[in-house]
Amino acid sequence: MTEKPALQKKNKRPFAFHSVSIRDFFNMKGMKTLKTTIHDRVILLNPPGDEVYIRDYYCSKVSKTDYIYHPIDLLYISGMLGAEFELEVIDAIAEELNEQQCLTRIRTMGSKAIIFLTGAVSWREDRLFLERLKAQTDVILLGSGDVFMDGAKELLEQNPFLDGVILDFFDDSVRRFLLGEREGLTNVMYRAENGQIRGNIQRKNGLFEVPLPCYHYFPNRKYKYPFAHHRRFATVLTDYGCPYHCHFCIMNTLGFRQRSVDNVIDELVMYHQAGIREIYFADQTFGANKKRLHEICNRMITQDLKMDWLCFSRVDLIDQKTVTLLKQAGCHTILFGVESAHQQILDRYRKGITLEQVRTAFHLCRQAKIATVGTFIIGLPGETEETCLKTIKLACELKCDYASFNVPVPRVGTTFREEAIAEGWTDSKLEPMCQAYTYPVMGTDQLPREKIWKLRNQAIIEFYLRPSYIIQRLRGIHNFYQLETHVRGIYFMIRGMFK
């Protein structure tokens, strides 16, 4: 007997939202809301910018190859607000809107509140835009982004045009705040009527569920991802935070929560019934709990979802049984954080993996015909030119399908930033920070900024200009979308080297 679609079940979720048929959900004409009681309009905003900024999930950066996927913070906030507010989404980055075009749309729509994204990579630019926006609209401005994760109170005090910040986009307090509640709120810091800054951070762990995102509000055909096999895809987050403790990463400071498997499968069924055949799992570590990973994959198989998908994972989670199951469930690409070819560096930054595990994971994926992306950091403190060259060599030896070479970034809220300030590698002032194509914001005792940048560009040349690699990539192109993606990637990669 065919299983009844998950969206038709009686809702037993902890957040109130109204179930409708998938067809109605994605094909509403003249009615973009699912409500019985509409309180006011809320705009979810990814602001305009001079670069293709990725601002979501507290890890802002400049897009390396002009990719832009669904802004996770806004996507899941849409689900929490969708039953009680009229929503509009403006993704000015994906829609390529300039400041004036964006402001005009906002003024035309009118709204009670705007929830916006920002990040350390774009804060100076965003601040000017948001101040102008507040002056022209006088709406409630609530922000989400890594720039608020260390010193939210101070930033609210310094920027009186901001009304509040969201410090956990899965926390239902943002919905309650917009409904006028002020007691018992967590992970929302705001300016009270008397001018005082109120609110607190409460990191959570354990199992949780969320209302399904209002995917249809977003400009879905504007999003693109270099490793996706299909032009149209959905972005999914199955957990929040990370259980690992890498020294340079902010994710381990967020707590670690996992959505129930039923809740995840409900979302995948929703997309499948809407005709979407590609999923980008944006978890920091997809499958951190191996038992849960196997359950998700088995459910995807038994429910015959037949979706292609890609994810981030860790090399120490990959074994023969797991990689076989991933392939059967539709996984075609895995991104692994390798970082360095030197065990001492990996240990120093609490990566928690060994080089043997790195080589084994890439080998198993290659055998299973799962493409791999290795990410590397060139110039971490403690490295020399010689160790960086060995990391470049390792990237080639692993036979990754793609490699991402980054520079060290002392991100806000990380212990790495504390170390960098203490050692004098950077100062405590907030700078535009990006690990991709922005010039390094810090050097080390062994390697100045100029040398790190030179080595990073050398890594790109040595990896991507190998004749064997070029032939391999040409053989892997099977449709026009993949050809277009490769051409755009090459263009932006070269452009980034000369910024």
Would you give the distance in Å from CA 149 to the centre of its chain? 15
pLDDT tens-place string over residues 368-420:
999 999 999 999 999 999 999 999 999 999 999 999 999 988 887 788 888 88
Reported as type and span, the H/E element at residue 390 is: helix 385-397
* Domain architecture of the chain: domains with CATH: 39-206 (3.40.50.280), 225-497 (3.80.30.20)
pLDDT tens-place string over residues 49-82:
999 999 999 989 988 777 899 999 999 999 999 9
- What pLDDT is recorded for position 483? 64
- What pLDDT is recorded for position 23? 40
Cα–Cα distance measured from residue 39 to residue 206, given in angstroms and rounded to the nearest whole number: 32
Q: Is the pLDDT of residue 330 over 90?
A: yes
pLDDT mean over 348-363: 96
Position 466: which residue type?
R
Tokens representing 239 are: 């957990």
Position 356: which residue type?
E
Closest by CA to 496, choosing from 61, 46, 60, 91, is 61
Cα–Cα distance measured from residue 137 to residue 107, given in angstroms and rounded to the nearest whole number: 7
More confident residue, 497 or 226: 226
Closest by CA to 94, choosing from 71, 116, 78, is 71
Q: What percent of the chain has pLDDT over 90?
A: 70
Q: Is 105 helix (H, G, I), strand (E, B) or coil?
A: helix
Mean of all residue pLDDT scores within the chain: 87
- What pLDDT is recorded for position 478? 66
pLDDT tens-place string over residues 135-191:
999 899 999 999 998 889 999 999 999 999 999 999 999 999 999 999 999 999 999
- What pLDDT is recorded for position 138? 86
Asked whether 164 and 177 are in contact (CB, 8 A), the reply is yes
Q: Is 266 helix (H, G, I), strand (E, B) or coil?
A: helix
pLDDT mean over 471-487: 68
pLDDT tens-place string over residues 425-469:
887 776 655 555 456 778 888 999 999 999 999 999 999 999 888
- What pLDDT is recorded for position 412? 77
- What pLDDT is recorded for position 127? 96
- Angle (CA) 211-217-219 rounded to 5° is 130
